[in-house]
């Protein structure tokens, strides 16, 4: 099992990042490159929870999203072709006095078969940069989207 910690400071508010994180509409892959539209299926969406299947490149997972706590969003893997056990993502948000937000992400990858075990091992070591880049790209994409919604409020 691999546990990867990621961090980014952004001008986004927690609400703005969560709005992007929980936007399951077409074009999601523009915000999250590992969520190809061909894999995306929303099974249920409520005001603060969702049940969604997403993935790309032959890897998929069904996730339970819970954003009922505005400072802590939890994505729990409920099914996958490679991930099992305690797999998922946890996002924590801390507002800073300079109008920025710290986003801390913990990604847990617990392989449920040989392919998952190998991928988890790679992501936890030499592949960590792939997750860092994907996270960085998602923050930038949401910042750019918000800059178009509220010009002058978000630095792209």
* Residue 154, SS3 per DSSP: coil
Q: How confident is the model at residue 124 (pLDDT cuts 50, 70, 90)?
A: confident
CA distance 82 to 85: 10
Chain centroid to Cα 29, Å, comes to 11
Topology of domain 2-149 in CATH is Alpha-D-Glucose-1,6-Bisphosphate; Chain A, domain 4 (3.30.530)
Report residue 25 as tokens. Answer: 């509409």
- pTM for the complete prediction? 0.91
What separation in angstroms does the CA of 19 have from each of 44, 80, 124, 135, 143? 17, 24, 28, 15, 11
Residue 156 has what pLDDT?
Answer: 39
What pLDDT digit, counting tens, does each position of 72-90 carry? 999 999 999 999 999 999 9
Residue 149 has what pLDDT?
Answer: 67
The structural domains of the chain, with segments of one domain joined by +, span 2-149
Rounded average pLDDT over 111-135: 91
Phi, psi of 20 (to 5 degrees): -70, -40
The packing angle between helices 128-149 and 114-124, to 10°, is: 80
Residue 118 has what pLDDT?
Answer: 94
Rounded average pLDDT over 31-59: 96
Instruction: Indicate left, alpha or beta for 131 from its phi (over 0: left) and psi (-120 to 50: alpha).
Output: alpha
Residue 150 has what pLDDT?
Answer: 57
What pLDDT digit, counting tens, does each position of 6-20 carry? 999 999 999 999 999
Rounded average pLDDT over 113-125: 92
Q: Are 33 and 48 in contact (CB under 8 A)?
A: no
């Amino acid at each position: 099992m691999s546990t990867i910690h990621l961090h980014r400071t952004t001008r986004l508010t927690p609400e703005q990042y969560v709005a992007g994180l929980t936007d399951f509409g077409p074009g999601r892959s523009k915000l999250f490159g590992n969520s190809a539209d061909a894999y995306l299926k929303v099974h249920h969406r409520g005001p603060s929870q969702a049940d969604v299947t997403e993935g790309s490149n032959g890897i998929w997972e069904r996730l339970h999203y819970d954003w009922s706590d505005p400072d802590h969003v939890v994505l729990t893997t409920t099914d996958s072709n490679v991930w099992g056990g305690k797999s998922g993502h946890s996002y924590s948000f801390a507002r800073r006095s300079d109008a920025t937000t710290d986003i801390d992400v913990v990604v847990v990858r617990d392989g449920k078969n040989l392919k998952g075990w190998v991928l988890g091992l790679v992501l936890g070591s030499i592949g960590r940069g792939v997750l860092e880049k994907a996270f960085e790209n998602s923050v930038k994409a949401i910042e750019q989207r918000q800059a178009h919604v509220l010009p002058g409020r978000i630095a792209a």
